[in-house]
């Protein structure tokens, strides 16, 4: 378990485990008209949510019975969430980000 350190920039709530953590340890998800996408450069306009880069949080986010996400102002469907998870896995499988 990692100790909580200060001075790591803004804190955000992970939509997988729902814990607050440094934004730098999370991926940004951007809400588009009818889908969710991975905002790798964190520059997409509009609403965004944050998710840790680990399989546990990604899986929790897909399978959680969610209410509306305040950060996105809507409730993404299971399909939208599953597609996002596939997108994240496709991008990250080749990197060392997944632990
Ligand atoms: Zn998390």
Distance 86 CA to ligand 1 centre (A): 17
Cβ atoms of 61 and 81 within 8 Å: the answer is yes
SS3 60: helix
pLDDT digits (tens, 9 = 90+) for 12-45: 999 999 999 999 999 999 998 888 999 988 888 8
User: Does residue 84 lie within any of the structural domains?
Assistant: yes
User: Does residue 40 lie within any of the structural domains?
Assistant: yes
Distance 33 CA to ligand 1 centre (A): 25
pLDDT digits (tens, 9 = 90+) for 40-78: 888 888 889 999 999 999 999 999 887 788 888 888 999
Domain count across the chain: 1
Distance 34 CA to ligand 1 centre (A): 24
Residues 94, 96: Cα–Cα separation, whole Å: 7
Distance 88 CA to ligand 1 centre (A): 14
State the pLDDT at residue 91.
83
The domain that contains 29 carries what CATH number? 3.30.1230.10
Domain of residue 48, residue span: 11-92
């Amino acid at each position: 378990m990692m100790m909580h350190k200060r001075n790591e920039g803004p804190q955000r709530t992970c939509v997988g485990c729902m814990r607050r953590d440094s934004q730098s340890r999370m991926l940004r998800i951007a809400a588009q008209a009818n889908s969710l996408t991975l905002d790798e450069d964190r520059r997409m306009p509009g609403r965004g949510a944050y998710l840790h880069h680990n399989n546990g949080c990604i899986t929790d986010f897909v399978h959680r019975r969610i209410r509306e996400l305040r950060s996105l102002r809507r409730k993404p469907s299971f399909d939208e969430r599953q597609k996002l998870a596939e997108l994240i896995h496709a991008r990250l499988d080749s990197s060392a980000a997944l632990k």
